[in-house]
Amino acid sequence: MRACRHCRKIETDKKVNQCAGCQSHDLSEDFSGIVVVIDYEKSTIAQKMGITANGKYAVKVR
């Protein structure tokens, strides 16, 4: 799995080289922590992280 360096969205498909969230190609294998956002409008974690879509996100991306 890789995480986007810009929006921290996690990409699980190895064939995909573009972030589904922000269209960035800057994906990193070096990340830690996974947050699964099911309902971002009600999630306080999503609000703190600035997440505006449901999905898997890395807590830290290097």
Residues that bind Zn ion (CB under 5 A): 4, 6-7, 9, 19, 21-22, 24
Provide the pairing of β-strand 2-4 with 31-37: unpaired
> Smallest distance from the beta carbon of 21 to Zn ion, in angstroms?
4
As given in the structure block, the two tokens for residue 37 are: 């956002």
- CA-to-CA separations, 44 to 15, 29, 52, in angstroms, rounded: 32, 26, 12
